[in-house]
Amino acid sequence: MDKLDRNSLEAPIIFTAALVDGMGASVCIKHLKAGETLYVEGEDADYCYEIMSGAMKEYNTLEDGKRQVAEFYKAGDMFGFSESSDQLHTAEAITSCAVRCYPRDAFMKTVAASPALSASFLDTLMTRLHRARERMVMIGRMSAMQRVATFLLRLADDADNQHTTHLAMSRQDIADHLGLTIETVCRTLTELKKQQIIVMEAARVFSIADLPRLEAVAMGARGRLH
């Protein structure tokens, strides 16, 4: 497999406009503070959601308390369409958020009624499936160094503001996303700093100082700690 692609997963604009048009009054907006949950695994999946501002994460918790963060979502992303009538994940605000809520039945009906919306929706689902599989490869087959490098590359690419990139999520969130521990994430970042591949302006602000080398590391070159 050539390098993991880093295309954006943003819901097309058509999505929002057509949905709000079609569903009107039944759509509402919810505001969340950092740390609040939008829904919890197991509860009824009555709504689909679209992030208007802020960042969220969707995760599962195992019996022993370990977490796996399935996805991070940012403004423009849609989520919460569970295939069952229950939520299969927990969604939690990372920063304070504004979220548009679509009643699930009406949402599905509106999507089904419009070929364009259906196509967009399918695209989103398939892209997300693809991403999930990419991350399976990452978690199952890559070293800690490769995982962190790949993660930083994707973040920088998603944000594509010229220089610095902000990390909305904590080290713990990153660890839970990459299948690592928080300590390993820290050590790996430190190593990337030492090698002057990245610069950390603050704990949650970084910039890529040497893109080719970061990409090389992500591909497996010198891809270990120590």
Which of the choices DNA, a second copy, none does residue 132 contact, using the CB cut-off of 5 to 8 A by kind? a second copy
Judged by beta carbon, residue 56 or residue 189, the one nearer DNA is 189
Nearest CA to 74 out of 95, 60, 47 is that of 95
Backbone angles phi, psi at 175, to 5 degrees: -55, -45
CA R_g for the chain: 18
At 205, is the secondary structure helix, strand, or coil? strand
Return the residue of 113, 116, 203, 211 that touches DNA, per CB under 7 A.
203
Distance CA 76, CA 52 (A): 6
Does 41 bind a second copy (CB under 8 A)? Our answer is yes
Angle between helices 13-23 and 104-113 (to 10 degrees): 110
H or E stretch covering 76: none
Which of the choices a second copy, DNA, none does residue 106 contact, using the CB cut-off of 5 to 8 A by kind? none
Does 180 bind DNA (CB under 7 A)? Our answer is yes
Angle between helices 115-141 and 144-159 (to 10 degrees): 150
Return the residue of 6, 10, 12, 60 that touches a second copy, per CB under 8 A.
60
Does 16 bind DNA (CB under 7 A)? Our answer is no
What would the two tokens of residue 216 be? 């090389």
Does 179 bind DNA (CB under 7 A)? Our answer is yes
Binding site for DNA (CB under 7 A): 143-145, 170-172, 179-187, 189-190, 200, 202-204, 224-226
Binding site for a second copy (CB under 8 A): 1-2, 41-42, 60-64, 66-68, 70, 81-83, 88-89, 112, 115, 118-119, 121-123, 125-130, 132-133, 135-137, 139-141, 178-179, 219-220
